[in-house]
Chains A and B, each alone.
Chain A
Amino acid sequence: MFKLDRKLITIGMTLALSTTLSVAAASTACIPGVYKSKPGAIDGGVIYPRENGVYTAYRYNTQSTKGVNFGRTPTANEIKAWDVDARPDGKGLPDGEGSVEDGDELFDAQCAVCHGDFGGGGKGYPQLAGGNQAKDKNGVVITLKNQRIKPGMDAPKRTVGTYWPYATTLFTYIRDAMPYAHPKSLTNDEVYALTAYILAQNEIKIDGQEMDDEYVLNKEKLMKVVLPNKDGFYPVIDGPEGPANVKAFFADRAKNIGMGTRCMKDCKDPSSGPGEKGLPAKLMKIKYEMKDVVPPYAFGKDLPPETDAGSVSKGEKLYDSSCKLCHGNDTMGAPRVGDASAWAAVMKKGMDKVLVNAIKGTGGMPPKGGNTDLSDADIKTIIEYMVGASK
């Protein structure tokens, strides 16, 4: 029965398969954005457009949210419990005060075990003070531009003094997340004291005034703190122009994020990329190869060449593989290597006769010891070794 229907089944299978394939091809073409890279897409990948000319690397849900139940309006108490942050301008900071000296005591007792003495950093925990606050002519902290991989350069140290933009977040962070083992255990006064101590260790001046031990920090003074790296972030997201700045920044990804199109063919060809004007091809080569390795990298894949030099001579090697079975001991009746009298008797015949016997076989010994692959010269080398080793 199967034999009868075989032709039909084959035709049916072919039809079904072709239908599936064509449907799959059609559906692929229908999905917007897939496999259709547009110029400017991150890393030459897929993009999904949103409104206002903005696009993302992820699929954007365009479904209507009408009729979806988003929950209820939060109560005033819930908002109060959630709204605990402090803005850069100081809005949201609680009342309280604390001196640098109080902060010193608290820091030694609760913080220095991880963050190090004077906030100098501990293993695996952030450094709070230190680092070079020197800036270049554009107002950028110089060490923050250093690349970690570049030898002979200090890695950027991101401390409160060199990296943080606003001191008010220092207050809220300590209050909500520190000490690590038991957060939210400090009072507002204690948090003000710790904030004062950390700012003092970073040599921050408030209103031009240096923070000595007796300096007392409170809400009004914390609002006035200007940290060195305040303007070191881009795009500027603060203020009424913030959203517009962000939009403008992400509108030109190729320039601002530094990602362009990925080269997929003819990358080696100088005429494929900017190479047309005598510039290098799109394909980039490794600029700094690792050469200072001892011993140097080997690129060959063959084994090191065999040398005759060494403790094992060629004759001994051949003897080991072809002759040792009989000549290695007395049981086979062959003259044993190392037996001086036996070999003296053999050598009485003369080297030429011994060689002929070895090649053609004599008595119980097969020609060439049974290994006919050996050349006559090899046999001579072996005999010389055996005689030499038996003196």
Chain B
Amino acid sequence: MGKMKIKAKEKGGVVKVKAMFTSVMADKEEAEKKKIKPEFFTYIVAKANGKVVFDATTSGFMSENPLLKFSFTGAKKGDELEFTLTDNNGKVTTGKKKIK
């Protein structure tokens, strides 16, 4: 699994976030076709200052290397945005990025 690509920018109190994660996002059916192990994120959560700002329950419906975009308020420049990804095999990945 490659590194997480996260971009968070604050402007006028609103933080705009773009993030791209590396995963084949292959559900059971697709994995069977490609003869690989099923691998997809089941839960994506983003926290700023320990507070949840975004969460989603996901599955193979998302494309390979999914791209997320969202915005939230209540954080300032220099705060840390942390993504935690859980996949169907129980693997947990985290990635951090400072808000600019």
Contact = CB atoms under 8 A, between A and B. Distances in A.
Interface of A: 104, 116-118, 120, 130, 151-154, 201, 203
Given A201-B5, A203-B2, A203-B3, A117 B33 contact: no
Given A151-B33, A152-B35, A153-B34, A117 B2 contact: no
Main secondary structure of the interface of A (DSSP, over half): loop
Classify chain B's interface size: 10 to 19
B32 to A, nearest CB: 8
Q: Give me the 7 closest cross-chain CB pairs, A-B, nearest first.
A: A152-B33, A118-B20, A118-B5, A152-B34, A117-B18, A130-B65, A117-B67
A104 B7 CA distance: 9
A126 to B, nearest CB: 16
23 contacts: A104-B7, A116-B67, A117-B18, A117-B20, A117-B67, A117-B69, A118-B5, A118-B7, A118-B18, A118-B20, A118-B67, A120-B20, A120-B65, A130-B22, A130-B65, A151-B33, A152-B33, A152-B34, A152-B35, A153-B34, A154-B34, A201-B5, A203-B2
Contacts of B2: 203
Contacts of B22: 130
B100 to A, nearest CB: 9
Nearest to A130: B65
Which among B7, B18, B20, B35 has the greatest number of chain A C-beta atoms within 10 A?
Answer: B20
Contacts of B7: 104, 118
A120 B67 CA distance: 9
Interface string B61-75: 000010101000000
